[in-house]
């Protein structure tokens, strides 16, 4: 029970949204506590961005409630509550102004006395690694630089609840690492973060809890460990003398499923140990030597694909 | 919605506007074009006789300002207003910045009000620049001689100056009405091209409609009728009825367009 405790930073209950006859969101629930880094996963068109828009007050919802720090988000009439920040899709700015000027104007919208408070702006620009480009017009910024500027503009609001929509999608690996470090630090300082991403490994690395959305509905919400427990099958890494023939054989056997296939070997799921034993014996009978058979932790990707009922294609 | 909130949005919009080259060009044109016109009139032998006060442009500098006013009222003022009013909302769609703007600490009502304040201020300043420049260019290039008004009465320079200034002031209500119309088109279509182009087209259509036969009340309901209400100020004795009527019609357009635009923005889903 959560009696006598602080309200959730974010408490979404039964939110629905229709576009014409299409259900963009159907009874979505989502709760995030302060200091929690919560992943939001789903295939393209699942409703992640629509949900983020609802939570940021950019679009209305047809049913359900959105509470932020215990207070109802009053649709579009009210302003975004203090301490709430974020961006959806690619952050957008005024191209004829510099990155710094954009931040100056946005901070002025948050607090009219903030105009010219260069120390805070400098700190934010430095935090996202944009200080060297702060005076350049946004028109010449790359997608990655705009993403960094988007994060800086969100940080200007000293967020206690932060919504990030694929914040590392346009960044190089070093930039993505820096952003992840900033996100971790914010969560460590008590900021609740909703982190939408297509990158399963990133969500697995950053988030302790996650919500998976498919066709506007939540199909899983909980910890990553809970998600793993939902998978009844074990996954094994298999390396053989002839992986192609082993794959072909696996596709014909009951109780064996190919999760992923890449240079390091084949990831297979066996329904039970009997099915696995039968497959290994069949490999031997077919003249295929088993070089490695190792039990592995299921990747979030394979779990995600299982949840969203999509076939696992071979990885490159 | 708070006054401080609206003003902070207005400050931000003003900074954005000043950073854009189009606003500087508009003001440069408003200031320089009347001078260029006055110099051209002085250098040429012929007169723009088919224009109101065209015969007097070489006799009184005040007539230069009135010729500029007559020309501006045709399509320049609607165009001038729509450059900002027709783009101030649609630009956010063009740049995809609604989501940036509306995820700060300002409500939609404050954002709307702030943008309207800046659009109206820009329009008023542009009209003032054109008025002052046309009067200054007329007096400096042609001279501050007395002006013969529409009734054939000779107005001494001080009275002529006052009447010309009033004539320009009478342009403000219909110009602001066109600004509101441009704002409505900008909000409704989310297109800068429509926001800037359609008000000019509507102004020209209204002027054409004024030539058609029909009940007088129909012509009175056109905003463009208010653009010619200044004629009463240059008659002896002056008559003010068209001016009052035109101001009321302009106010109705102004309030109606802004009310609809505000409603549209409040109800809008900010999508991708």
How much of chain A is helix, strand and coil, in % rounded to 5?
A: 35, 30, 35
Q: Chain B partners of A110 at a C-beta cutoff of 8 Å?
A: 104-105
How would you classify the pairing of strands A265-270 and A256-262? Answer: antiparallel
Whether B58 is covered by a domain: the verdict is yes
Whether B238 is covered by a domain: the verdict is yes
Q: So what's the pLDDT on residue A73?
A: 79
Q: So what's the pLDDT on residue A115?
A: 56
User: Distance (Å) from the C-alpha of residue B108 to the closest C-alpha of chain A?
Assistant: 6
Question: Which residues are bridge partners to A164 per DSSP?
Answer: A87, A195
Domain count, chain B: 1
Q: Chain A partners of B107 at a C-beta cutoff of 8 Å?
A: 77-79
Whether B196 is covered by a domain: the verdict is yes
What average pLDDT score do residues B179-194 get?
Answer: 94
Residue B12 sits in which domain range?
A: 3-267
Whole-angstrom distance, CA of residue A267 vs CA of residue A257: 9
Closest CB to B100 among A82, A91, A95 = A91
Mapping DSSP onto H, E and C, the string for B84-113 reads HHCCCCHHHHHHCCHHHHCCCCCCHHHHHH
**Which of A59, A86, A105 to mutate: most B Cβ within 10 Å?**
A105
Q: So what's the pLDDT on residue A2?
A: 47
Q: Chain A partners of B114 at a C-beta cutoff of 8 Å?
A: none
* Predicted confidence (pLDDT) per residue in B142-181, tens digit: 888 999 888 888 999 999 999 999 999 999 999 999 999 9
Whole-angstrom distance, CA of residue A104 vs CA of residue A112: 10
Q: How many CB pairs under 8 A join A and B?
A: 95
- Does the reported pTM lie above 0.95? no
By residue count, chain A amounts to 316
Contact: B103, A56; criterion CB under 8 Å? yes
Contact: B99, A112; criterion CB under 8 Å? no
Contact: A80, B102; criterion CB under 8 Å? yes
Contact: A87, B103; criterion CB under 8 Å? yes
Q: So what's the pLDDT on residue A60?
A: 87
- Residue B24: alpha-carbon gap to chain centroid: 16
Q: Is the dihedral of CA A129, A134, A139, A140 positive or negative?
A: negative
Whether B68 is covered by a domain: the verdict is yes
Q: So what's the pLDDT on residue B5?
A: 87
Contact: A79, B101; criterion CB under 8 Å? no
Whether B255 is covered by a domain: the verdict is yes
Whole-angstrom distance, CA of residue A295 vs CA of residue A273: 12
What are the E-state strand segments in chain A? 10-19, 22-32, 37-41, 63-68, 71-72, 84-87, 161-165, 192-196, 209-214, 217-223, 234-240, 256-262, 265-270, 290-296
The sheet with strand A209-214 has its strands ordered as: A84-87, A161-165, A192-196, A37-41, A209-214, A217-223
Rounded to 5 degrees, φ, ψ at A25 are -135, 140
* Predicted confidence (pLDDT) per residue in B53-107, tens digit: 888 888 889 999 999 999 888 888 888 888 888 999 999 999 999 999 999 989 9
Whole-angstrom distance, CA of residue A301 vs CA of residue A313: 11
Contact: B102, A97; criterion CB under 8 Å? no
| ipTM entry | 0.85
- The mean pLDDT value of chain B amounts to 90
Q: Give the H or E element holding residue B154.
A: strand B154-155
Whole-angstrom distance, CA of residue B198 vs CA of residue B182: 8
Q: So what's the pLDDT on residue A162?
A: 95
Contact: B270, A53; criterion CB under 8 Å? yes
pLDDT tens track, chain A, 316 positions: 444 566 788 999 999 999 888 889 999 999 999 999 999 988 888 889 999 999 998 998 899 999 888 888 765 556 788 889 999 988 999 999 999 999 999 998 887 565 556 788 888 898 888 889 989 999 999 988 899 999 999 999 889 999 999 888 888 888 888 888 889 999 999 999 999 987 777 888 889 899 999 889 998 899 888 877 776 566 788 899 988 888 888 888 888 887 766 667 888 888 778 888 899 999 999 999 999 988 876 666 667 776 776 544 433 3
Q: Is residue B268 helix, strand or coil?
A: coil
- For the cut 60, the answer to whether the pLDDT of residue B19 exceeds it is yes
Asked if residues A9 and A190 have their Cβ atoms less than 8 Å apart, the reply is no
Q: Which residue of A has its CA nearest to B268?
A: A59
Q: Chain A partners of B12 at a C-beta cutoff of 8 Å?
A: 105, 108-109
Q: Chain B partners of A112 at a C-beta cutoff of 8 Å?
A: 4, 7-8, 11
User: Distance (Å) from the C-alpha of residue A183 to the closest C-alpha of chain B?
Assistant: 19
Contact: A76, B108; criterion CB under 8 Å? yes
Q: So what's the pLDDT on residue A1?
A: 46
Whether B272 is covered by a domain: the verdict is no
Q: Chain A partners of B20 at a C-beta cutoff of 8 Å?
A: 96
**Which of A20, A74, A76, A88 to mutate: most B Cβ within 10 Å?**
A76
């Amino acid at each position: 029970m959560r009696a006598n405790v602080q309200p959730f930073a974010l408490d979404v209950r039964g939110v629905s949204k229709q576009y014409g006859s299409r259900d963009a969101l159907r009874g979505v629930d989502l709760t995030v506590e302060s200091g929690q880094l919560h992943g939001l996963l789903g295939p393209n068109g699942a409703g992640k961005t629509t949900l983020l828009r609802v939570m940021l007050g950019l679009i209305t919802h047809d049913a359900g409630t959105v509470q932020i720090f215990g207070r109802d988000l009053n649709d579009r009439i009210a302003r975004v509550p203090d301490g709430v920040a974020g961006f959806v899709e690619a952050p957008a700015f005024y191209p004829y102004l510099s990155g710094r000027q954009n931040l100056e104007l946005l901070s002025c919208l948050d607090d009219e006395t903030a105009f010219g408070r260069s120390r805070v702006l400098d700190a934010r620009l430095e935090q996202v690694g944009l200080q060297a480009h702060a005076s350049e017009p946004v028109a010449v910024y790359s997608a990655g630089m705009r993403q960094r500027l988007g994060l800086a503009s969100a940080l200007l609001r000293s967020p206690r609840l932060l919504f990030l929509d694929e914040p590392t999608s346009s960044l190089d690996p070093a930039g993505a690492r820096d952003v992840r470090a900033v996100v971790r630090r914010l969560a460590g300082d008590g900021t609740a973060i909703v982190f939408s991403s297509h990158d399963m490994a990133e969500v697995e690395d950053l988030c302790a809890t996650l919500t998976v959305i498919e066709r506007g509905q939540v199909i899983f919400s909980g910890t990553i460990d809970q998600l793993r427990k939902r998978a009844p099958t074990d996954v094994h890494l298999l390396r053989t003398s002839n992986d192609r023939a082993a794959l072909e054989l696996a596709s014909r056997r009951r109780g064996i499923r190919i999760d992923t296939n890449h240079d390091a070997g084949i990831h297979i799921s066996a329904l039970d140990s009997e099915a696995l034993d039968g497959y290994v014996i069949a490999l031997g009978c077919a003249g295929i030597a088993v070089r490695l058979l190792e039990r592995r932790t299921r990747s979030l990707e394979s779990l995600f694909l299982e949840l969203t009922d999509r076939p696992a294609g071979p990885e490159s | 919605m708070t006054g401080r909130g609206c003003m902070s949005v207005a400050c931000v919009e003003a900074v954005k506007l000043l950073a854009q080259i189009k606003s500087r060009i508009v003001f440069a044109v408003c200031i320089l074009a009347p001078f260029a016109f006055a110099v051209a009139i002085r250098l040429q032998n012929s007169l723009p006789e088919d224009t109101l006060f065209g015969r007097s442009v070489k006799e009184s500098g005040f007539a230069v300002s009135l010729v500029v006013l007559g020309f501006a009222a045709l399509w320049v003022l609607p165009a001038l207003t729509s450059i900002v009013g027709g783009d101030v909302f649609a630009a956010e769609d063009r740049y995809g910045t609604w989501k940036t703007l509306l995820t700060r600490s300002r409500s939609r009502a404050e954002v709307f009000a702030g943008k309207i304040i800046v659009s109206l201020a820009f329009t008023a300043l542009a009209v003032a620049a054109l008025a002052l420049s046309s009067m200054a260019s007329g007096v400096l290039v042609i001279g501050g001689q007395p002006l013969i008004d529409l009734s054939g009465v000779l107005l001494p320079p001080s009275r002529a100056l006052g009447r010309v200034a009033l004539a320009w002031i009478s342009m403000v209500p219909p110009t602001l009405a066109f600004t509101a119309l441009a704002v409505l088109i900008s909000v409704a279509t989310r297109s800068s091209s429509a926001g800037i182009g359609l008000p000019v087209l509507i102004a020209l259509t209204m002027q054409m409609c004024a030539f058609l036969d029909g009940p007088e009340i129909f012509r009175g309901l056109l905003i463009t009728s208010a653009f010619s209400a200044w004629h009463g100020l240059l008659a002896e004795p002056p008559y003010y009825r068209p001016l009052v009527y035109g101001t009321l019609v302009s106010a109705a357009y102004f309030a109606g367009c802004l009310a609809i635009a505000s409603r549209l923005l409040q109800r809008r889903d900010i999508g991708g």
